[in-house]
Amino acid sequence: AAQQKMLETTRFADAASMERAKDMVADTILRDAGVMLDNILQMTGLVLGGIVWGVLADRLGRLQMLFGSILVYSVANILNAFVANVPADSMFHWLHVIGLGTAYNQYATLRFIAGFGLAGELGAGITLVSELVSKEQRGFATTIVATVGIMGAVCAYFVTELVADWRNAFLIGGMLGLALLFLRVGVVESGMFDRVKQSHAPGRGALWMLVWPAARARRYLALVL
């Protein structure tokens, strides 16, 4: 009985060691590939998110999209802190069915979602600020928004340097995003959007308006480039 108990204990320890080894391998892979995934997938999410959130903001309002996008990227960042390889016999085995059974795939998907959400926050935030202030102050106001955004990126760098575990860095970033929601509770909807909404202007939030007429398409392309 003692030998059997020792054997079971040894097997348990071996299994635990194997799972820990898998987690260490997953962490190593994510550290090596994280920058690439951030650059490719998050940027792709930013591009697509900018289009989707922009259309929705024109139809439903800047404020709703601002809060929705902050919630999306904050939750995605928090979930990034918990990515892990899922055992086939665990209660989350269904993640393998949708291709999210590995830490790598989970991380990649969440980086895309985070970028998608961030695009909405950037677009809706700058649009809301520019519409809430007078036309004489728009340039200065949007510059402040952009400057604070860059300062946030700099602060994020120092957080990653001070926090040993990259998972904790994502957790901190996600929690700060949720805190941002509470700080923006008092923000009001754009008066300009309310007036356009009440006028029932045709084509509001339509993608085709970016490319037609041709003169508008040329101006838009010049601004993008």
pTM equals: 0.77
What is the pLDDT at residue 203? Answer: 60
6, pLDDT greater than 70: no
pLDDT digits (tens, 9 = 90+) for 98-132: 999 988 889 889 999 999 999 988 888 888 888 88
How confident is the model at residue 82, as a pLDDT?
Answer: 92
For the record, the structure tokens of 84 come out as 């892990």
- Ordered by start, the domain boundaries in the chain are 2-193
Least confident piece of the model among 18-32, 97-111, 152-166, 167-181: 18-32
Per the CATH hierarchy, to which homologous superfamily does domain 2-193 belong?
MFS general substrate transporter like domains (1.20.1250.20)
Taking 70 as the threshold, does the pLDDT of residue 31 lie above it?
no
Q: Please compute the mean of the pLDDT values over residues 14-28 and round it to a whole number.
A: 43
Local confidence band at 165 (pLDDT 50, 70, 90 cut-offs): confident
pLDDT tens track for 131-163: 888 888 888 888 888 888 888 888 888 887 888
Q: What is the pLDDT of residues 37-90, one digit of tens each?
A: 677 888 899 989 988 998 888 888 888 899 999 999 999 999 999 998 888 888
